[in-house]
């Protein structure tokens, strides 16, 4: 009898393990066990020697992972995209793409900052992180002020003299708005960035972000900022027209570069490619933008003139075709 009971117990445990394995393969384990999302972030950050720190940036407590090897130097700052798990309301990303990208960055100073309500909550434990901060107020003054406080904290704590901002998806929106506001931002990069949230919500047939600031309103200021925008040719979440709308809002600029990674989707195909993309210079060129490209509007691969005139909605230059690898 004891032997039979032992066998039955093993069968039950094996069934539970199999069930968990199936859930994991199907991606459901992330919603069933929210704490696993924090574990995932830790597993990504630890091999890159990035240390967890929560920054009190009132009203939010912003989760950061930091690697500082050069106090007083320049820092690469990555800002996460959005996540909205309709099943649980959890906005902590199951796949933190920006953290994956940061983990591939070999710079001396690399810092990742999550979005409000991801991993943490509010500075005051009595306050609830309201849903509007990942809906209509995603890019509000309150949110931007919080990131400004976080960057000020980082600059003071480590003596950072300048920031290179890198934003993924909605993190690109925040990075762009910060770049327009701050004198200590040297460059801007976005990956699948939402650079015009009105064009984005119209294309995706989503509710407008009525209480949010929009990078297109800062286009004249941003036109003087060295910037590189990467978009995915298979991105169904943020299509190329969102970037085109941003470019059309700008006066002619020699500081804006764009690249389409043809096989990349919104959250796939970026991570393994990122070290190569990160090596591309982000600068303002002195060449005449009107003389750039060929008859099809594409800049030659390897040309120093890899710049598209922002006011011309042409095809984006330098298409890279390769099969993406899931992060």
In a domain, residue 107? The reply is yes
pLDDT band (50, 70, 90) for residue 324: very low
In a domain, residue 129? The reply is yes
Question: Beta strands 162-168 and 109-113: pairing type?
Answer: unpaired
pLDDT at 312: 34
Q: What is the pLDDT of residues 158-185, one digit of tens each?
A: 999 999 999 999 999 999 999 999 999 9
In a domain, residue 306? The reply is no
Q: What is the pLDDT of residues 110-139, one digit of tens each?
A: 999 999 999 999 999 999 999 999 999 999
In this structure, which long-range contacts are made by residues 182-185, counting pairs with CB atoms below 8 Å and at least 24 apart in sequence?
A: 182/148, 182/151, 184/151, 184/155, 184/160, 185/225
Can you state the angle between helices 141-158 and 170-181, rounded to 10 degrees?
A: 70
| Phi, psi angles (nearest 5°) of residue 214 | -125, 130
| SS3 labels along 42-88 | HHHHHHHCCEEEEEEECCEEEEEEEEECCCCCEEEEEECCCCCCCCC
In a domain, residue 309? The reply is no
Residues 164, 75 contacting (CB under 8 angstroms)? yes
pLDDT band (50, 70, 90) for residue 34: low
Residue 51 has, within 13 A of its CA and on its CB side, a CA count of 6
pLDDT band (50, 70, 90) for residue 286: confident
> Which residues of 172-275 form beta strands (DSSP E)?
185-191, 227-232, 256-261
pLDDT at 31: 39
* Non-local CB neighbours of 210 within 8 Å, separated by 6+ positions: 136
Q: Taking 90 as the threshold, does the pLDDT of residue 280 lie above it?
A: yes
Q: Higher-confidence residue: 322 or 95?
A: 95
Q: What is the pLDDT of residues 92-107, one digit of tens each?
A: 999 999 999 999 999 9
Question: Alpha-carbon distance 82 to 171, whole Å?
Answer: 8
Rounded alpha-carbon distances, angstroms, from residue 109 to 54, 79, 114, 179, 184? 17, 15, 17, 18, 15
CATH code: domain of residue 154: 3.40.50.1820
Q: Taking 70 as the threshold, does the pLDDT of residue 17 lie above it?
A: no
In a domain, residue 34? The reply is no
In a domain, residue 2? The reply is no
Per-chain mean pLDDT for the chain: 83
Residues 178, 165 contacting (CB under 8 angstroms)? yes
How many H-runs (helices) and E-runs (strands) does the chain carry?
A: 10, 8
Question: Beta strands 60-68 and 109-113: pairing type?
Answer: antiparallel
Q: Taking 50 as the threshold, does the pLDDT of residue 72 lie above it?
A: yes
Q: Higher-confidence residue: 133 or 15?
A: 133
* Triad 219, 225, 226: Cα angle to 5°: 130
Q: Residues 215-233: what's their mean pLDDT?
A: 96
pLDDT at 308: 43
pLDDT band (50, 70, 90) for residue 47: very high
In a domain, residue 137? The reply is yes
**What percent of the chain has a predicted confidence (pLDDT) above 70?**
76
Q: Count the domains in the chain.
A: 1
* Non-local CB neighbours of 62 within 8 Å, separated by 6+ positions: 54, 55, 113, 114, 116, 120, 146, 147, 150
Q: Which residues form the domain of 249?
A: 52-291
């Amino acid at each position: 009898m004891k032997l039979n009971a032992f066998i039955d117990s093993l069968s039950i445990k094996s069934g539970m393990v199999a069930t968990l394995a199936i859930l994991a393969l199907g991606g459901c384990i992330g919603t069933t066990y929210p704490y696993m999302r924090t574990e995932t972030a830790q597993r990504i950050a630890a091999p890159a020697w990035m240390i967890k720190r929560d920054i009190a940036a009132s009203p939010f407590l912003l989760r950061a992972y930091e690697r500082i090897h050069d106090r007083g130097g320049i820092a690469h700052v990555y800002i996460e995209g959005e996540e909205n798990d309709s099943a649980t309301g959890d906005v902590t990303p199951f796949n933190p793409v920006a953290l994956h990208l940061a983990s591939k960055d070999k710079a001396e100073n690399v810092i990742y900052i999550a979005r409000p309500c991801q991993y943490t909550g509010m500075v005051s434990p009595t306050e609830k992180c309201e849903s509007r901060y990942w809906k209509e107020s995603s890019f509000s003054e309150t949110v931007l002020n919080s990131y400004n406080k976080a960057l000020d904290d980082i600059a003071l704590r480590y003596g950072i003299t300048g920031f290179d901002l890198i934003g993924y998806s909605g993190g690109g929106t925040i990075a762009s708005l910060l770049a327009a506001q701050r004198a200590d931002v040297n460059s801007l990069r976005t990956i699948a960035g939402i650079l015009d949230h009105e064009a984005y919500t119209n294309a995706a047939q989503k509710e407008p972000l009525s209480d949010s600031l929009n990078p297109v309103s800062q286009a004249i200021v941003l036109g003087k900022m060295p910037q590189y925008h990467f978009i995915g040719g298979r991105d169904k979440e943020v299509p190329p027209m969102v970037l085109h709308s941003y470019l059309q809002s700008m006066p002619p600029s020699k500081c804006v570069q764009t690249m389409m990674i043809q096989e990349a989707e919104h959250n796939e195909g970026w991570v393994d490619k990122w070290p190569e993309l990160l090596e591309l210079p982000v600068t303002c060129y002195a060449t005449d933008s009107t003389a750039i490209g060929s008859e099809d509007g594409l800049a030659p691969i390897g040309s120093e003139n890899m710049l598209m005139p922002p006011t011309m909605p042409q095809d984006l230059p330098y298409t890279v075709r390769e099969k993406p690898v899931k992060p």
